[in-house]
């Protein structure tokens, strides 16, 4: 497949028009063509099925127009990113000629649909270019595409090429682009700094993959404080509660929370939002060695809450616990964490819809509104306080794994809430960070989830 590029309108160049049509509007769209082209449409059997394309030839036989199907008008299962199919058009330059409900979303879907992870394979030749519509903010569009690409690239990178130090280097690279500062606390220095759970989870890895906390800061210190926290488990064996082999196959994506948090941070800094941004990424490998923590161990935390280990494969909430405590100490106006935290969230909502948790009804409503508008789905689940009883321990303040096998995503969120400071608006995003199969704008592999909706929310508040 050719590469999908976004370009500015070219003076004097002829771009092939792409017209979106519904099944009901096909007849009218065909009527606007010349007689030969109408005959071509009729002979092709084109029905404007959602995501379908028809190349319409001109007098010389070359493609002169494209019809793009939207399916039945008002279909309840319509995909807002269906225009991602346009990235499969033959090499050439195209423009959106009309019929698209949201040209900005269509242009974004085109670019996202053309993503390929090509670090270890030869890129395919040829370019399919789309002119950015005049009514679309090209700079914003490019920032969004770059951020999603960053998240996808990091998640798709094999774990032997992306250890904790490599993840920190990626954060430093983004920081340098935007003039942010970065501090790292590495290895045994985590104990001195009062981050014992991050140290414990990563202690079993080899020295070259030592655990660390990466701390990025950007913006006016006097501006409202917004803190992002991302789970950065670069590979998760499950620890001594070892995962079966088939469950390890995708564990390179267990740093998907960190990748999405970094991508959102890049969007915020690139847009110059009026806020003080902090990004905290605890980066570890949950490995197996003589230094691995054990089921039944009791860990101290930065907050002073003692944690009994019911399952070493519930490690993400441990490193996030220390990071959320640290983040809470400066009392941000808003705190958001991202984590590929529980399989229970996937059982409840599937791979495409991140579960979100918050006690802030206004925050939840704003996020739901932007999620719907941008085709970036999220779904709120309850922080059901009575389920905290499932995390009770007989030897510590709390257990890291719930009992009974029920409500796993809720109990994980309740565990994290224990480490969030009082009166701090907080949102927890339990995401999959992966597309299991290719769909419009979402090729199979690592993906960004919820960050476009959250960026829109932050832009609305801190423009």
Q: What are the residues whose beta carbons fall under 8 Å from the beta carbon of 176, sequence distance 6 or more?
A: none
Mark residue 162 as left, alpha or beta (left: phi above 0; alpha: psi -120 to 50; beta: remaining).
Answer: beta
How far apart are the C-alpha atoms of 175 and 269, rounded to whole Å?
A: 9
Catalytic residue among 38, 142, 172, 243: 243
Q: What are the residues whose beta carbons fall under 8 Å from the beta carbon of 390, sequence distance 6 or more?
A: 402, 403, 404, 406, 407, 411
DSSP element (H, E) containing 26: helix 26-31
In 3D, which of 309, 204, 201, 208 has the Cα closest to residue 255? Answer: 201
Provide φ and ψ at 360, rounded to 5°: -95, 105
CB 326 within 8 A of CB 424: no
In 3D, which of 229, 255, 166, 200 has the Cα closest to residue 426? Answer: 229
Catalytic residue among 278, 317, 418, 452: 317
DSSP 3-state assignment of 355? strand
Token duo for residue 105: 């979303």
User: 317 an active-site residue?
Assistant: yes
Burial of residue 406 (number of CB atoms within 10 Å: 0-12, 13-18, 19+): exposed
In 3D, which of 270, 230, 284 has the Cα closest to residue 428? Answer: 230
Alpha helices in 239-360 (DSSP H): 245-248, 256-271, 316-328, 343-349
Pairing of strands 355-357, 426-430: antiparallel
How far apart are the C-alpha atoms of 94 and 132, rounded to whole Å?
A: 10
- Stated length of the chain: 463
Token duo for residue 427: 């949102």
Map tokens 């796993």 to a residue: 408
How far apart are the C-alpha atoms of 455 and 148, rounded to whole Å?
A: 12
User: 243 an active-site residue?
Assistant: yes
Pairing of strands 379-380, 355-357: parallel
How far apart are the C-alpha atoms of 150 and 63, rounded to whole Å?
A: 34
CB 370 within 8 A of CB 376: yes
Q: Which residues have a catalytic role annotated?
A: 243, 317
């Amino acid at each position: 497949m050719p590469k999908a590029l976004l370009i500015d309108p070219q003076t004097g160049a002829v771009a092939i028009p792409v017209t979106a049509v519904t099944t009901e509007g096909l007849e009218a769209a065909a009527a606007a063509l010349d007689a030969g082209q109408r005959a071509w449409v009729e002979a092709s059997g084109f029905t404007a099925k959602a995501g379908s394309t028809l190349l319409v030839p001109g007098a010389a036989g070359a493609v002169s127009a494209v019809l793009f199907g939207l399916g039945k008008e008002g279909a309840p299962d319509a995909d807002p990113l269906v225009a991602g199919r346009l990235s499969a058009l033959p090499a050439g330059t195209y423009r959106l000629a009309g019929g698209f409900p949201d040209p900005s979303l269509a242009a974004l879907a085109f670019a996202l649909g053309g993503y390929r992870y090509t670090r270890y394979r030869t890129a395919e030749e040829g370019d399919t270019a789309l002119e950015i519509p005049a009514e679309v903010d090209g700079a914003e569009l490019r920032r969004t595409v770059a951020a999603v690409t960053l998240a996808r690239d990091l998640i798709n990178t094999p774990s032997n090429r992306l250890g904790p130090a490599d993840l920190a280097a990626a954060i430093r690279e983004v920081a340098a682009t935007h003039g942010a500062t970065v501090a790292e606390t590495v290895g045994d220095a985590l104990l001195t700094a009062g981050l014992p759970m991050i140290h414990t989870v990563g202690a079993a890895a080899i020295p070259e993959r030592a655990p660390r906390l990466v701390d990025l800061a950007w913006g006016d210190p006097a501006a409202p404080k917004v803190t992002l926290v991302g789970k950065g488990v670069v590979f998760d064996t499950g620890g001594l509660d070892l995962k079966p082999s088939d469950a390890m196959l995708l564990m390179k994506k267990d740093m998907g929370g960190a990748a999405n948090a970094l991508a959102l941070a890049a969007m915020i800094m690139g847009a110059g939002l009026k806020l003080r941004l902090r990004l905290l990424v605890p980066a570890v490998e949950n490995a197996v060695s003589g230094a691995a923590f054990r089921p039944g161990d009791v860990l101290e935390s930065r907050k002073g809450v003692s944690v009994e280990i019911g399952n070493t494969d519930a490690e993400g909430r441990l490193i996030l616990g220390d990071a959320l405590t640290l983040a809470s100490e400066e009392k941000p106006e808003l705190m958001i964490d991202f984590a590929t935290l529980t399989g229970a969230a996937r059982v409840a909502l599937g791979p495409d819809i991140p579960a979100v948790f918050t006690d802030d009804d206004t925050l939840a409503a704003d996020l739901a509104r932007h999620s719907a508008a941008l085709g970036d789905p999220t779904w709120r689940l309850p922080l059901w306080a009575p389920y905290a009883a499932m995390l009770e321990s007989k030897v510590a303040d709390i257990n890291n794994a719930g009992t009974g096998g029920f409500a796993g995503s809720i109990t994980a969120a309740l565990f994290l809430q224990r480490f969030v400071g009082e009166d701090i608006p907080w949102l927890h995003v339990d995401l999959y960070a992966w597309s299991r199969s290719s769909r419009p704008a979402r090729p199979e592999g690592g993906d960004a989830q919820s960050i476009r909706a959250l960026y829109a929310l932050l832009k609305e508040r801190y423009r």
